[in-house]
């Protein structure tokens, strides 16, 4: 065995065993959280900041709405399929 392989197995071995012992749903929930955290951040932005520079204040120009619409299918895939 090469020295690099021995080092990497010694270093990452315990982490590999820990992650291997977790149920598969744990990874799916982790990905869902990685999608939800930025979504919540975007939803908390002020409407005036979101619409800055837009020619009008039409509801469809609100990027927070588009962020939700884009994120929902990914959440459905990771949590329910």
pLDDT tens-place string over residues 15-58: 999 999 999 999 999 999 999 999 999 999 999 999 998 899 99
pLDDT of residue 1: 67
pLDDT of residue 40: 97
Please say if the pLDDT value at position 9 is more than 70: yes
Q: How many residues appear in the chain? A: 81
Tokens (6 digits) for 36 = 């939800």
What average pLDDT score do residues 49-74 get?
Answer: 93
pLDDT of residue 81: 85
Q: What residues contact residue 54 under an 8 Å CB cut-off, 6+ apart?
A: 61
Rg (CA), the chain: 21
* Spatial CA neighbour of 48 closest among 35, 37, 39, 57: 57
């Amino acid at each position: 065995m090469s020295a690099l392989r021995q080092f990497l197995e010694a270093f990452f071995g315990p982490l590999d065993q820990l992650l291997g012992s977790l149920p598969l749903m744990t990874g799916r929930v982790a990905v869902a959280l990685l999608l939800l955290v930025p979504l919540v951040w975007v939803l908390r932005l002020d409407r005036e900041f979101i619409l800055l520079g837009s020619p009008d204040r039409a509801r469809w120009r609100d990027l927070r709405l588009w962020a939700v619409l884009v994120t929902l299918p990914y959440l459905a895939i990771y949590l329910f399929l």
